[in-house]
Amino acid sequence: MARSDSSKDTPREPAPERTAAPRRLPWRGLRAPLLLVVATIALVLLAQLTLGKLPHWMNPFGEETKDRSGPALLQSIRDLHRYEAASGNFQVIVDLEKDAKFLPDAVRGKRTLFIGNGSVDAYVDFSKVASGAIKVNPDRTSATITLPEAQLEPTNLDSKRSYVFSTERGLFNRFGDFFSGNPNDQQQLYILASQKIQAAANESGLRQRANANTKLMLENMLKALGFTTVTVRQTAPQ
């Protein structure tokens, strides 16, 4: 007698459908590192603000200045043949701004206001007086002197009276300045201030004042020696 196969008559359950695993967006894997970076920046800025209000002796990151410089060495000596005839004091406000090309100023950018105070001296170089520039009549009552015109010294920027008035920095700039400073930024401010003061001195009447003072000084000195007529002529330096 044939044996029936009951498995043929039993209906099979359909196989469960496989659900596709959800695709992970590529930026989701960067969420945790990005949040960690933002939190680190926030903590650093908070610590900077908090520690800045502590007394110097309680601040663990406070700086202590020690001067370990060696003695100054004399390198050369030169004789001066100049008459310092006039000096001008100048002040300039340097407004220096550095921006990122594709980022807003609040993220990356820096604007600094620098107050520069300096002086420029005007002088007459007597070493440039040519032979025969001084002529005296036989009676020694009249003298004619030909001198070069006054020139300007380079700007002497007063470091004690020049300072950064204010600084606006973006988030990345604050984070970078906390760990390291760039001395070239300070040097650039001093250079710009010196250049602007020098340009202002060139456009001022400082040279004319020096020429007039030199002429008056020589006239008074020679008249005290007995000369009644003194003529001072000034030519452009060669």
pLDDT band at 73 (very low <50, low <70, confident <90, very high): confident
- Report yes or no on whether pTM surpasses 0.95: no
How large is the C-alpha radius of gyration of the chain? Answer: 39
pLDDT tens by residue, 78-110: 777 889 999 999 999 998 876 555 444 444 557
pLDDT score at 61:
54
Tell me whether residue 113 is exposed, middle or buried, using C-beta atoms within 10 angstroms of its C-beta: 0 to 12, 13 to 18, 19 or more. Answer: middle
Task: Decide if pLDDT at 232 tops 60.
Answer: yes
Tokens coding 157: 């920027």
The better pLDDT of the pair 67, 124 is held by: 124
pLDDT band at 175 (very low <50, low <70, confident <90, very high): very low
Specify the DSSP element, H or E, that contains 213. Answer: helix 206-224
Count CB neighbours of 100 within 10 A.
14
